[in-house]
């Protein structure tokens, strides 16, 4: 596989073929790619919702300013952040480390305490801003995995987050929506698929010192 060829192939798909669906296996690959995304301290304060329900996606359409990718794609991925981070989240991480790696608590304790104080010293807004950065990393990771797997996708931040949260009842899950990634297969007549990639010249984007 030539990774640059895969990245040239991908584009922000505007029109999906609604009859072409991702297999369970492809979907499983995307779930794992999301979960394998690196996060700061490994705290994973992000979640991914997979919305396949057509009626629900139609309900979301006005809140995505009518961008039909969200209903025509095979599945709609919604990247979310935790509404707030508390010491239980830090304990969940370190308990997992302890279980999976058998690391003694004497070694983990100082890191556990440091991370707890770091999280509790942040305002809720700072916590959310911090988690949003992690969501963007997951978005990039998913887009690349999609390209490698020949799955089309469209990264989207053009939607009303508060309306999405209300329609998807995210408050009860203590989550907030941040980014969308409809995934599936391009429609044969999506004119954007034939457009040349528009990018800066490599020497303008990458500076070598």
Phi then psi dihedrals of residue 91, to 5 deg = -60, -40
Minimum Å distance from CB 1 to ligand FMN?
19
Q: Any contact of residue 197 with ligand FMN (CB under 6 A)?
A: yes
- 173-176: long-range contacts, CB 8 A cutoff, minimum separation 24: 173/47, 173/80, 174/82, 174/83, 174/84, 175/47, 175/49, 175/80, 175/81, 175/82, 175/83, 176/80, 176/81, 176/82, 176/83, 176/128
Burial 113-131 (b: 16+ CB within 10 A, else e): eebbeebeeeeeeebbebb
Q: How many residues lie near ligand FMN (CB under 6 A)?
A: 10
Among 155, 164, 183, 185, binds ligand FMN (CB under 6 A): 155
Q: Which stretch binds ligand FMN (CB under 6 A): 15-23, 93-101, 155-163, 183-191?
A: 155-163
Q: Does 158 sit near ligand FMN (CB under 6 A)? A: yes
Binder of ligand FMN out of 27, 146, 154, 170 (CB under 6 A): 154
Residue 94 binds ligand FMN, judged by CB under 6 A: no
Residue sitting closest to ligand FMN (CB): 158
Q: How far apart are CA 130 and CA 125, in angstroms?
A: 9
Q: Tell me which residues in 31-70 interact with ligand FMN (CB under 6 A).
A: 67
Q: Does position 156 bind ligand FMN by CB under 6 A?
A: yes
Q: Site residues (CB under 6 A) for ligand FMN?
A: 11-12, 14, 67, 154-158, 197
């Amino acid at each position: 596989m030539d990774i640059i060829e895969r990245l040239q192939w991908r584009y922000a798909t505007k029109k999906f073929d609604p009859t072409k669906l991702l297999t369970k296996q492809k979907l499983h690959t995307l779930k794992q790619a999301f979960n394998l995304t690196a996060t700061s301290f490994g705290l994973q304060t992000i979640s991914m919702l997979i919305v396949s329900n057509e009626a629900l996606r139609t309900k979301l359409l006005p809140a995505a300013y009518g961008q039909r990718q969200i209903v025509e794609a095979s599945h709609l991925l919604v990247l979310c952040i935790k509404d707030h981070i508390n010491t239980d989240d830090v304990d969940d991480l370190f308990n997992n480390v302890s279980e999976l790696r058998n690391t003694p608590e004497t070694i983990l304790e100082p890191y556990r305490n440091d991370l707890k104080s770091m999280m509790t010293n942040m305002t809720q807004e700072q916590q959310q801003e911090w988690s949003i950065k992690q969501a963007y990393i997951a978005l990039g990771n998913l887009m690349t995995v999609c390209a490698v797997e020949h799955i089309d996708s469209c990264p989207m931040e053009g939607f009303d987050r508060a309306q999405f949260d209300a329609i998807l009842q995210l408050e009860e899950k203590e989550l907030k929506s941040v980014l969308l990634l409809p995934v599936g297969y391009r429609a044969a007549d999506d004119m954007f698929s034939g457009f040349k990639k528009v990018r800066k010249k490599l020497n303008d984007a990458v500076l070598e010192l």
